Every structure is written in C-alpha cells, then in structure tokens.
Amino acid sequence: MIQVTRKDAKESTENLLRRFNRKVQQSGVLAEAKQNQYFEKPMSKLERRQKAIVRRQRKITKVKKLRLGR
C-alpha cells in the first residue's frame, strides 16, 4: 500500500497528487493490475508467435484493401 503525506501545510493538492501518481507508477502496482485484468489462458511461446504472425498478416491485408478502396 502506497502512502503519501503532505510535506508541510502549504503544499498544494496538485503537488501531492503528482507525487502520489509518480510513486504508484514507479512501484508498478497499476501496471500489474492492468495486466491481470483479463484472464488469459497459458500459451506456449510458439503458439503466441504464430498468433502474432496471423494478426500481422490480417492487418496488412486489411490496410491494402482499404488503400485500394475495397
């Protein structure tokens, strides 16, 4: 759990929020939570690469068709 307190009574709320956001980003808590947001079945490296290749090829053909006006 991340805690941030005011340095002194004159510190602005914006400054406090900025320091809190920086600490959250540096700790990696938010990135980990986003990564675990959706369940993903365990997959081998080979399967993951093959799926990426298929996605890339589909995207290329889609862009080509858009450029040709189809």
pLDDT confidence tier of residue 4, bands split at 50, 70 and 90: confident
The C-alpha atoms of residue 63 and residue 58 are separated, in whole angstroms, by 9
Is residue 1 located within the same domain as residue 32?
yes
The C-alpha atoms of residue 5 and residue 19 are separated, in whole angstroms, by 10
Is residue 4 located within the same domain as residue 26?
yes
Is residue 25 located within the same domain as residue 47?
no
pLDDT at 1 over 90: no
pLDDT at 61 over 80: yes
Residue carrying structure tokens 């490296």? 45
Tell me the pLDDT tens digit for each residue of 13-60.
999 999 999 999 999 999 999 988 988 889 999 999 999 999 999 999
Give CB contacts under 8 A, 24+ apart, made by 1-8: 2/27, 2/29
pLDDT given at position 19? 92
Is residue 14 located within the same domain as residue 1?
yes
Backbone angles phi, psi at 40, to 5 degrees: -125, 125
Is residue 27 located within the same domain as residue 60?
no
Q: How many domains does the chain have?
A: 2
| Domain span holding position 10 | 1-39
